[in-house]
């Protein structure tokens, strides 16, 4: 990447990472600086891996909503798109085929635009029935496998169902819960961003 005379990366050489998600990404009930995208940006910067963070989390959003917003987000030419959608579709009992096909379309369009895609999996509460919860979880693993995507099997790993890491609604993480998510996401993104910053400037 382009390096300025002072040894720092030129602004245009810093990769843009778009976090496409719902209230979990937006950090509902918290300040945006406490949501995991901002925390990931800070953690990577501390490791000498600066990124431009775009928190594209919208509370209540579905996979269809994410797809509808995608062209505008891709116009910002992200190097990486982290997709963390589908929880609201599942909570509404949407057909799994439509969730999977919409996520696949997001992946396809993002890749066509030159972005690397990272997929974050979701899980449903057990009261949705064993078959739906199992098949919902598996659609993410299948998408990641078929598209050879970097994959976080469950965005809320170690956070879901832990009372002290969730707000009073039992669904949305506290600041401490968001920090836990940020650790998982940083671990997944670090090698990807390291590789991007090692490449010659392509954009």
Q: What is the pTM (predicted TM-score) of this model?
A: 0.92
Q: Residue 3 forms beta bridges with which residues?
A: 9
Task: Please tell me the predicted confidence (pLDDT) of residue 199.
Answer: 78
Please say if 22 is a catalytic residue. no
How far apart are the C-alpha atoms of 157 and 170, rounded to whole Å?
Answer: 14
Please say if 98 is a catalytic residue. no
Q: Residue 19 forms beta bridges with which residues?
A: 55, 82
Catalytic position from the list 22, 61, 89, 172:
172
Q: For the CA atoms of the chain, what is the radius of gyration? A: 17
- 5's tokens: 């005379």
Rounded to 5 degrees, what angle do the CA atoms 118, 77, 56 make?
60
**pLDDT tens per residue, range 146-187:** 999 999 999 999 999 999 999 999 999 999 999 999 999 999
Please say if 169 is a catalytic residue. yes
Residue with tokens 């009261």: 127
**pLDDT tens per residue, range 60-93:** 999 999 999 999 999 999 999 999 999 999 999 9
Helical spans, DSSP H, in 33-174: 36-46, 63-74, 87-91, 96-112, 130-147
Catalytic position from the list 23, 59, 75, 135:
23
């Amino acid at each position: 990447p382009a390096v300025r005379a002072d040894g720092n990366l030129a602004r245009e050489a810093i990769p843009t990472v778009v976090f496409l998600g719902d209230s979990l990404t937006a950090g509902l009930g918290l300040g945006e600086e406490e949501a995991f995208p901002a925390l990931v940006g800070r953690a990577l910067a501390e490791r000498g891996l600066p990124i431009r963070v775009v928190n594209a989390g919208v509370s209540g959003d579905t996979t269809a909503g994410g797809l509808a917003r995608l062209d505008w987000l891709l116009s910002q030419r992200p190097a990486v798109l982290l997709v963390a959608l589908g929880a609201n579709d599942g909570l509404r009992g949407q057909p799994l085929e439509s969730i999977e096909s919409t996520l696949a379309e997001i992946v396809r369009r993002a890749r066509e635009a030159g972005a690397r895609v990272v997929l974050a999996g979701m899980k449903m509460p057990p009261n949705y029935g064993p078959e739906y919860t199992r098949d919902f979880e598996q659609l993410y693993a299948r998408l990641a496998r078929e598209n050879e995507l970097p994959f976080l099997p469950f965005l809320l790993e170690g956070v879901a169902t832990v009372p002290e890491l969730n707000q009073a609604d039992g669904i949305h993480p506290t600041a401490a819960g968001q920090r836990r998510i940020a650790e998982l996401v940083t671990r997944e993104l670090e090698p990807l961003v390291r590789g991007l910053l090692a490449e010659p400037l392509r954009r």
